[in-house]
Amino acid sequence: MREPWSTYAAPVWLPGGQAQTVWPALFSRTAAARYGITWRRERWDAPDGDFIDVDHIDALAGVGGGAPPLVVLFHGLEGSSSSHYSRALAHACVQRGWALTLPHFRGCSGEINRAPRAYHSGDWAEIDWILRRIRSAHAGRMYALGVSLGGNALLRWAQEAGNAASAFVDAVGAVSAPLDLAAGGAALSKGFNRMVYTRMFLRTLRPKALAMVRRHPGMADARAIAQAQDLHAFDDAFTAPIHGFRDADDYWRRASAKPGLARIRVPALVLNARNDPFMPAGVLPSAGEIAPHVWLEQPATGGHVGFARGRLPGVVDWLPGRFLHFFNHGI
């Protein structure tokens, strides 16, 4: 078991967890657009008759004609292949000659899904069939990286898969994962977090949920969804009941990845900034709570999926570089 450490430190011109979260998300998006990334999209049929849209960055054959390494990226809450971290990772993969696949969670690719389900922080069964399908078509090294919600769900998959995980991926990574959903939900219900982040999430979550209820009458309480003013109320009204949880508290307890980190049997890098506004530092895991295969990295700075570096206005290449180095070298 390894003690948390990191080589990352935020630039002096970007102080505090809030700025380190907001600045990369807003201002690096313009820079990321200049990467000129072109995704190739496929639509896959899901086991329940629904569909997901999957975006790819293809790579040339590797040295000796073999398959290049492949990274599978699971995005965060209401994220997509247009998210700043997706573009930054795509750029890093292109530079290294690696391939990248980004499966969109249900309803996140620009079109509402058909089935009466969405996605959630503990959606490890969804990740399981996706990774199985990708593995069956890829003969080379394969890694999975999850961002925020996607990171928690990926870690839950690794926990449930146990020893079998290594049959599908060579390593996994999670950045800014809400490992304790109750603590993260409480943090997002207060002050600036509630006014900015929660409002931003609900701006898209509520309309999509209401559209699904109109398509599948009776699946959830439309009035409660419309009135939800924080993530606990939204998850209580929508996420929990449609995915088989008793209520939001039951969902948050059963979906949190932190209690099962000792069950992971595949190499894993779990990266959380200690000033992440979404996740209080006091609830982050310690070396005594993880398996020998898990590497904790908890820099003092970085914010939530931020980790900008360099001179103003900064770049966001540290994060993809860190995970690709871990995947390639195991450290």
Residues that are catalytic: 148, 276, 304
Contact 108, 80 (CB under 8 A): yes
Specify the 3-state DSSP secondary structure of 284.
coil
Listed in sequence order, the residues at least 6 apart from 80 whose beta carbon sits closer than 8 Å to its beta carbon are 86, 102, 104, 108, 109, 110
Contact 85, 18 (CB under 8 A): no
The backbone torsions φ and ψ at residue 224, rounded to the nearest 5 degrees and listed phi first, read: -65, -35
Bridge-based pairing state of the strands 142-147 and 70-74 = parallel
Specify the 3-state DSSP secondary structure of 71.
strand
Work out the number of other CB atoms within 10 angstroms of the CB of residue 42. 11
- CA distance linking residue 247 with residue 224, whole number of Å: 13
Listed in sequence order, the residues at least 6 apart from 153 whose beta carbon sits closer than 8 Å to its beta carbon are 74, 119, 120, 121, 122, 123, 124, 126, 127, 146, 255
Cis peptide before 259 (omega within 30 of 0): no
Helix 181-188 to helix 248-255 angle (10° resolution) is 130
Listed in sequence order, the residues at least 6 apart from 67 whose beta carbon sits closer than 8 Å to its beta carbon are 61, 138, 139, 140
Whole-angstrom CA distances from 9 to 20, 62, 269 are 11, 34, 18
